[in-house]
Amino acid sequence: MNRPLTRTDLLSLERYSEQRETMRRQLVAHKKQRQLALGPNVTLYFEDRRTIAYQIQEMLRIERIFEAAGIEEELETYNPLIPDGDNLKATMMIEYPDPSERRQRLQQLVGIEHQIWVAGSASGRRYAVADEDLERATEDKTSAVHFLRFQLPDSLIAEIKSDTPIQFGCNHPQYDVQVTIDGSLRAQLRNDLA
């Protein structure tokens, strides 16, 4: 389930074009089960093999990439976003609809990407590793999009797989929130740790 994608997992541009609308509708429903609102302005979108395959298909379509070397390059770029069995991976979006408020808040939220955590009842907080591919923030402002990896010890994996309450949160001085997960998101994250 967590294995990297290969070219054989992808559709040709022609086949993808034929199936795109159906696949998009299915993926929207799938992604809804994999998102977590951390307060009103931060959302974590947990990635898996299916969300990343769709992202690659979209990139190949937009860029009209059909040669093997180009496809391999996209696979190398996106495969690291698939969970490895002992971690969870998420795209974090900081969302403020008003552009001037967004600009101001991104300045106030410098470092927020390093303040996102997960915890179980017996496990302490495990902070996400942010933006391993490239730095997305400066001293003056953070980015509205970050890529996070939650590397989990066996004890926390066991808690996620059990019925132990699991919380995600942020302890940035300008954005302090924590939420307990359950339901379909919990089931999805269990699958990521299989």
Locate 74 and state its tokens: 């996209």
- Expressed as residue numbers, the domain containing 18 is 1-32+49-82
190 shares a domain with 120: yes
Q: Is 32 exposed, middle or buried (0-12, 13-18, 19+ CB in 10 A)?
A: exposed
pLDDT tens by residue, the chain, 194 residues = 578 999 999 998 999 999 999 999 999 999 999 999 999 999 999 999 999 999 999 999 999 988 889 999 999 988 989 999 999 999 999 999 999 999 999 999 999 999 999 999 887 899 999 988 767 777 889 999 999 999 999 999 999 999 889 999 999 999 999 999 988 899 999 999 97
105 shares a domain with 138: yes
How many Cα atoms within 13 Å fall on the side-chain side of residue 44? 27
Cα–Cα distances in angstroms (integers) from residue 5 to residues 53, 125, 182, in the given order: 7, 31, 28
- Give how many domains the chain has, as a whole number: 2
18 shares a domain with 113: no
Contacts of 86 (CB under 8 A, 6+ apart): 151, 152, 157, 193
180 shares a domain with 132: yes
Residue 134's φ and ψ, nearest 5 degrees, are -165, 155
Closest CA to 83 of 140, 189, 2: 2
The domain that contains 164 carries what CATH number? 2.60.40
